[in-house]
Amino acid sequence: MGFNTGEQSTLMADFLDQCGGHAVIDGGLATELERHGADLNDPLWSAKCLLSSPHLIRRVHLDYLEAGANIIISASYQATLQRFEAKGLSKEEGESLLRRSVEIACEARDIYLDRAAKGSWDVIGNETILEKRPVLVAASVGSYGAYLADGSEYSGVYGDAVTLETLKDFHRRRVQILAESGADLIAFETTPNKLEAKAYAELLEEEDIKIPAWFSFNSKDGVNVVSGDSVSECASIADSCKQVVAVGINCTPPRFIRGLIQSIRKVTTKPVLVYPNSGETYDAYQKQWVPTNGVADEGFVSYVGKWCEAGASLIGGCCRTTPNTIRAISKTLSGRAD
């Protein structure tokens, strides 16, 4: 199932109806790639596997589909043409890897749906039968701070030298490529400030991007995005952009999500999406997650009902969440639909 120009918001509503009212987004990619043996100690982070081990990316996408995900997000969060160039790749090679990130996700969807159509048993052997259901592929776009790989996507502080035009020029070609890659939508993720949200909105308009998008912000206090900008003001930018079909929060501790949903709902009628992290804290200096205040899968999933009641329509997980987290979310949402 894909989206076209025109009635994009209606199509998102139709997709949610097909999913039973709520859709399941996948979970953390990097953690799972490492669990499968990938070494991600690289500025490219999970995008490193586009070069070294694309089969592992496909495997993780499949794990999430088998866990019940309706939306899988490509391994392009840290895949920027500028970073590929710094690794010695040509412009053409970098653009090809961006397209490949979406192709791998589409391949995983095709494999899953083929197995589901044949009634195959879940290869993990967890006693569930694969089911045919709506599945979308979202092309991930990480923030300028993610490219810097210095943790500034968790602060939103880029400095006075970074202007609206700087950000538009930085993202333009990547957005053009991903919009024509075969993805169903573009996921602008972990957006740390209002300026970058405005850059995305203007880019979508200027480039006449034909597929829809979602804007997702991150917060460390439950009131503002990480830069200190108002989450309501950020969500209003997303609301005013016609290509944006959903707006929400990712990579944020679960305990903050309910209040953030309520703030977003005050300024938009577009579907709200949430895919928090495990609650652990990222240490930008050590470049690792600090295991404090994290929640187990059971604790994470205990929030899901409250998020639905607050108005969230699309729910998943971000950093440090796993297929087990997503399986539990899917079961919880299925229970609500029954």
CA end-to-end span of the chain:
24
CA–CA separation, 312 vs 270, rounded Å? 10
- Max Cα distance, the chain (Å): 56
Full strand arrangement of the beta sheet holding 136-141 = 23-24, 312-315, 272-275, 244-250, 213-217, 185-191, 136-141, 71-73
CA distance 83 to 106: 24
Q: Residue 49 annotated as binding? A: no
Q: List the one residue out of 260, 147, 231, 241 whose CA is nearest residue 199.
A: 241
To the question of whether residue 251 is assigned a binding role by annotation, the answer is: yes
d(CA 313, CA 308): 7
Q: How many CB atoms lie within 10 A of CB 307?
A: 22
Write out the two tokens for 97: 């890897």
Binding residues for Zn(2+): 251, 318-319
Binding residues: 251, 318-319
